[in-house]
Structure 1
Amino acid sequence: PPPTKKKVIIVGAGPIGLFTALKLARTNIPVLILEKSPQLSTAPRAVGYHGAALAALKRTPVYHKARELGFFGKGICWRRSLVADQDENHNRNGDGEMGKKMGDIIASLAGYGHGVLYLPQGMLTRLIYEEVVRTGLVEVRFGWEVSDVIQHGDDDDDGVTAVARKVSGHGEEERFTGKFLVGADGGKSAVRKILQIPLQGHSWPERIVAMDVLLEDKHLDPMFPTSMVVHPVNFGLVTPLEPVREGEKTLYRCSVATDPGDERTDEELVEEASLRVLLEGFAPGPRPLDVDIVGSSAYRTHQLCAFTLRKGRCVLAGDAAHLNNPFGALGLTTGLLDADALANTLDMIINEKKAIDLLDVYADERKRVFQTFVDPVSTQNKLRCASDPDTVTEDWLIRGVINHTPDVMEAFGRPFFDVWPTDMRKLAALRGY
């Protein structure tokens, strides 16, 4: 179809906003993206892409470049926390201080489907951004903060106006009008707050400290590069962010839970001295520990979902719509599947003249997927990690993995392909749109 006269406005130039824009541009729909920050974010966040989310990436030009820059892992494992390394050559200064290595594997799960693609979120965001710019149909304005959203009614061709101010300079205000507006501006979404859509759910008591560090792990199992460390308090994740090179330092993401009773501020938690104490109990390698801290962040995790994902011509996607803990890589990946479904929905409404109420189908289905799949699965992923390593083997999934029970593996893995995504074209046909 010829280009539409009006743009879709997307608030947020993170991976979800950009992926939505890319999908829309590929159907000839012009897009304006408003981003509060002055540039793309490089903060330590998501790393892994799998299941239906990986399939969604494969349907765009982004995938081949992501595969070149990233790497595939065949599986993950649950491990005990660090233990002493008895290799005397693993002691740096001969003073009797033992190096440490990852604890024994409790259970290991080979990748379901095509495994897991590892690529830091910042790098994926950059790749999507480059493809977005290449389309020629997307304008990205950095440094613009949305302060209000005005809707003009379902029958108005100029259906929604975003009022935004420039963050730098004199804070001049401008109005941007389009057919639809997408709130993809993260967990603290300004769009969601302006639309007065509440979040429902709960927050976890502990904080997670995520650290990107350069270290050498001589005992890494290449079959299972990602380790979920099982511990009642300091549970977490250790995963490489780049292919491991033998004899060299590799960039790893170490995410460690802190004691819920720790009263230090986030700023105090990410001071270098504090980070090194956490790494001493979490990072493998010779002692004294030789690591370079590249980046860090402290954050709380949540299990929250917006009461509704649609108000009029405004819709939510990604963290603006729902939040979950990072165990099992169901955050950014769920957002990518939101973007995939939403772009297909807007394509049908704008280019194929389907009824605007098709947005209700998108909103209801993506909320249903979160409530019935993403929320419970990510919750149980987290609770397994926060268990006693001596009794976690009594968990149904861990027991099934240890015993290599095929029907258990199928029951756990199949929903990542059948339940997690939303086929909006199929639903539109089934419901008579």
Structure 2
Amino acid sequence: MNTATECVRPDAPVIVIGNGPVGQTTALLLAHWGIATIVVDQRAQRDLVGSKAIAQQRDVLDIWDVLDGAGRQIAEEGVTWSRSRTFYREHELFCTEYVEDGHTFPPFVNISQSRTEQILDERIAATPLVDVRWGHRVDDIVQHDDHVELACETPEGRVTLRAAYAVACVGARGNEVRELLGVEFGGRTFGDRFLICDIRADLPGWHRERRFYFDPEWNPGRQVLIHPCPDSTFRIDWQVPEDFDLEVEEETGRLDQRIRQVIGDRPYDIVWKSVYRFHSRIVDRFRVGRVLLAGDAAHLVSPFGGRGLNSGVQDAENAAWKLAAVLHGMAGEELLDSYHDERYAAAQENLAITGATMEFLVPQTEAERARRLDVLERAVEDPAARSEVDSGRLAEPFWYVDSPLTTPDPARPFAGRPPKGSVPPPSPGVLIPDAPIEDPATGTETRLRVLARRRITVLTGDAVDAEALREELLRLGRAVPAFRAGDLGGEVAGRTGIRDDEVWVVRPDGHLAATLTSPHAIAVNAAITRVFGSRVSTTVPTARTPVENVFSPS
């Protein structure tokens, strides 16, 4: 690393490398915190082709919703499953029904990545703090004590951009940037390939159900997954042999036959098709000096369960609020080390979950093949065996239970990973439950997570004097909003489960940092200090720059 001492004025506080959905989200969330970015991408323009990552998870829609309602628009345009059906050969093993459960967003929404990118582009176009520059290929990265320099090849010639920090969101094929940063990308690549076809067809009864077939007679020994998408479009994934040749498949008419084996003798149009391999890989460092890695640039997992893009968006949120805290002077640079701690652990969990799924879907040894066959055969008649059938555990947020930013609470221990489709009870590290509230500032209807994503937030039980606690924290040099649950709306206490004598400290990404019972303001302040790392400014704010406004959306 270069140790130049001369202070260089950056072109922007942050440069985002890569303008895919993770890069878009990173830039928009930094703008949400008042931080300007330059977004560079080596492509000449947006290539809106194919469905790609289609399954957007509830809590990711929640993150996008702070971006001028992007999450709500994606949910409204997408397709929500009402059921998920799983088959083995000619037998239907089980069907999971999804019902309205009172949440703002459904568990999953299917919509093409291309449309998601368009919606995020619309938000970027309306955001002066984001400057997008296409046709910029980063071919050198030089780090200094106070900034990072990115050398880019452009159609007009070579340019150098400078920033305080950079976030690399260069995707699965970002090998050049990973090499420039000197990170290892260890893991494995699976031998079998997968064929995707997006087809448009009239399939009555299929438009709100996901179908997963193990070993159907029309793809023996392998599996097929079918997802509904908007506009009568269906995404079909076939597991195919390693030597599969799509061009030959089309020339011989076998592709048409393959599709008709699924949908029957009815008209259809192919919207997009592709062949790809699955990978399980992770970089050894998510932070390299002044550069953070996010999304597929940092980790690759198989798509069963929709953990790729969803996890990348959660990377983006984690990186954005921490960079904003550092750039606003509320935390020292060591806070960025926790980005690696938290998101590396999240990626490791995703690799473990998807690795177990791939072991079941693509067994590599005789023992694995025998176990899979035994489970599937037993599941036909024995309902108890069906829980062993692994077609993917759907994406969920990671719980920062062991994070250095989290204050443990013996009274609220983490209950461990919950059953599929459920969430753990509130405890330090867990995403706060949502609830409709009345905005204390405007009196309008909003949600608890929207309020939480404005800054550090203190929430108290009804037996705690929130105003007195806020005043005590202010005397300690900590100006944060403190709200009594009962004052926010009738559903908050019930939805969250906060106890009357508790005080909760909520991070800017909606995760619980601490749950404290009958605490003194000193303990609350210590928990907040822990969220921001060891070097946190405790200066009493002036009238011009109150702390509660420094870390708020622009």
**TM class, shorter-length:** 0.7 to 0.9
Alignment partners' CA distance in 2, 1:270 and 1:185: 32
Q: Measure the CA separation in 2 of the matches of 1:208 and 1:346.
A: 38
The equivalent residue for 1:255 is 237
Change beyond 3 A, Cα 1:191–1:299: same
The one-character-per-residue Cα deviations of 1:303-344 (angstroms, maximum 9, x if unpaired) are 111111111000100000100011111111010111111111
8 Å Cα contact 1:71-1:242 kept in structure 2:
yes
Q: Is the 8 A contact 1:52 1:417 kept in 2?
A: no
Given the alignment of the two structures, is residue 20 of structure 1 paired with residue 26 of structure 2, yes or no? yes
For the structure 1 residues 421 and 172, does the alpha-carbon distance in structure 2 shift closer, same or farther, using more than 3 Å as the test?
Answer: farther
What's the counterpart of residue 306 of structure 1?
283
1:90-138: CA deviations, max 9, x gaps? xxxxxxxxxxxxx635342537863211211110011111101211111
**Where do 5+ consecutive residues of structure 1 fail to align?**
84-102, 244-249, 400-406
Aligned amino acid, residue 396 of structure 1: S
Displacement, 1:200?
Answer: 1.7
**Structure 1 residue 201, shift from structure 2 partner:** 1.7
TM superposition shift of 1:57? 2.2
Instruction: Give the direction of change, closer, same or farther, for the CA distance of 1:140–1:396 in structure 2 (3 Å limit).
Output: same
The corresponding residue for 1:67 is 75
Cα RMSD, aligned residues only? 3.1
Q: Distance in 1 between matches of 2:96 and 2:417?
A: 12
Give matches, 1:211-230, under 5 Å.
211-220=197-206, 222=208, 225-230=209-214
The residue number in structure 1 matching 2:5 is: none
Match of 2:387 in 1: 396
For the residues of structure 1 that align with 2:250 and 2:305, how far apart are their CA atoms?
24
1:192 aligns with 2:178: yes
- d(CA) in 2 for partners of 1:409 and 1:355? 32
Which amino acid in the other structure matches residue 24 of structure 1?
L
Q: Deviations over 1:152-177 (max 9, x none)?
A: 12xx1xx11111102xx4x6211111
Whether contact under 8 Å (1:52, 1:421) holds in the other structure is no
**Residues 44 and 134 in structure 2, CA contact (< 8 A), matched pair in contact too:** yes
Cα pair 2:16 2:37 within 8 Å, conserved = yes
- What amino acid does structure 1 have at the position aligned with 2:356? Q
Q: Percent identity?
A: 22
CA distance in 2, matches of 1:351, 1:188: 33
TM-score normalised to structure 1 length: 0.79
Quickly say closer, same or farther: Cα 1:54–1:381, change in 2 above 3 A.
farther
SS of 1:140 mapped into structure 2 = strand
Contact 2:55/2:110 (8 A) holds in 1 = yes
Residues 1:34 and 2:14 are matched in the alignment: no
User: Which of 416, 420, 436 is residue 412 of structure 1 equivalent to?
Assistant: 420
Name the SS of the counterpart of 1:354 in structure 2: coil
Contact 1:233 1:259 in 2 (8 A): no
* CA–CA distance in structure 2, aligned partners of residues 314 and 371 of structure 1: 20
Structure 1 68/312 Cα, relative in aligned 2: closer, same or farther at 3 Å?
A: same
Asked if structure 2 preserves the Cα contact closer than 8 Å seen for 1:235 and 1:256, the reply is: yes
Alignment of 1:147 onto 2:139: yes
Deviation at 1:80, TM superposition (A): 3.5
1:375 to 351, 360, 366: 351
How far apart are the structure 1 equivalents of 2:267 and 2:425?
41
| Deviation for aligned residue 1:355 | 1.1
Residue of structure 2 equivalent to 1:174: 159
Alignment of 1:239-318 (within 5 A): 239-242=227-230, 250-260=232-242, 263-265=243-245, 273-281=253-261, 283-285=262-264, 287=265, 289-318=266-295
CA deviation profile, 1:384-424 (whole Å, cap 9, x unmatched): 5555443456253559xxxxxxx999422345998797957
CA–CA distance in 1 between the matches of 2:329 and 2:82?
41
CA positional deviation for 1:238: 0.4
Give the counterpart of 2:85 among 50, 57, 77.
Answer: 77
Which structure has the bigger radius of gyration?
2
Distance 2:252 2:111 in 1: 25
- 8 A contact 1:362–1:424 mirrored in 2: no
Amino acid across the alignment from 1:50 = Q
**Residue 150 of structure 2 aligns to which amino acid in structure 1?**
A
Q: Which residue of 2 aligns with 1:430?
A: 530
Q: Say which SS state the counterpart of residue 7 (structure 1) adopts.
A: strand
Distance in 2 separating the partners of 1:408 and 1:351: 35
Q: Distance in 2 between matches of 1:273 and 1:421?
A: 50
Could you say what secondary structure the match of 2:332 adopts? coil
The 1:46/1:201 distance shift into structure 2, 3 A limit, reads same
Structure 2 unaligned runs (5+)? 1-9, 363-371, 391-414, 433-506, 514-527, 535-554
Q: Determine which of 9, 12, 34 is the counterpart of 2:15.
A: 9
Name the aligned partner's letter for residue 229 of structure 2: L
CA-to-aligned-CA distance 1:282-317 (integer Å, 9 cap, x gap): x223x2x53211111111111111111111000100
SS of 1:161's equivalent?
Answer: strand
1:207 aligns with 2:193: yes
Distance 1:66 1:143, change over 3 A: same
1:346 corresponds to 2:323: yes
Distance 1:77 1:130, change over 3 A: same
Query: What does residue 110 of structure 2 align with?
Result: 118
Of 205-214 and 375-384, deviating more is: 375-384
Who is 1:234 aligned against? 222
- Preserved CA contact (<8 Å) 1:67 1:117: yes
* Distance change in 2, residues 1:32/1:195 (3 Å): same
* Correspondence list, 1:318-333, <5 A: 318-333=295-310
Compute the TM-score of the two structures, normalised by the length of structure 2: 0.63
Q: 46-55 vs 339-348, which deviates more?
A: 46-55
